[in-house]
Amino acid sequence: MRTAARPLHFAGCVELRQTLDVHAHDERELMSRIAEVPADSIYFHTFGYFLRHHPQTTAYGNDFARWAALEIGDRALAERLAVVDPFAFPRLDALRDHLVSILSDHLQRHTVGGRLEFDRAFHFQRSHIVEVPLGLDATSLAEFRAGLARVDESAIYLHTVETRVRARRAESFTTWLADALGMPELAERFARADPYLTALERARGRLLGFVDEALEDERR
Is the Cα torsion angle 204, 8, 160, 122 positive or negative in sign?
Answer: positive
Nearer to another protein, 125 or 163 (CB): 125
Residue 29 Cβ vs another protein, minimum distance, rounded to whole Å: 14
197 vs 179: CA distance, rounded Å = 28
Residue 83 Cβ vs another protein, minimum distance, rounded to whole Å: 22
**SS3 letters across 29-47:** HHHHHHHHCCHHHHHHHHC
Binding residues vs another protein (CB under 8 A): 12, 14-21, 23, 54, 56-58, 70, 118-121, 123-125, 128, 130, 132-135, 150, 152, 154
Nearer to another protein, 30 or 183 (CB): 30
Quickly list DSSP for 67-128.
HIIIII--HHHHHHHHT--GGG-SSHHHHHHHHHHHHHHHHHHS---PPPPGGGSEEEEEEE
Residue 56 Cβ vs another protein, minimum distance, rounded to whole Å: 5
Residue 99 Cβ vs another protein, minimum distance, rounded to whole Å: 19
Give the pairing of strands 122-138 and 8-24: antiparallel
Q: How far is the first Cα of the chain from the last one, in angstroms, to the nearest whole number?
A: 12
Per the DSSP assignment, residues forming a β-bridge with 23 are 123
Nearer to another protein, 102 or 151 (CB): 151
Nearer to another protein, 183 or 199 (CB): 199
Q: How far is CA 63 from the centre of its chain?
A: 12
Nearer to another protein, 49 or 89 (CB): 49
Per the DSSP assignment, residues forming a β-bridge with 127 are 17
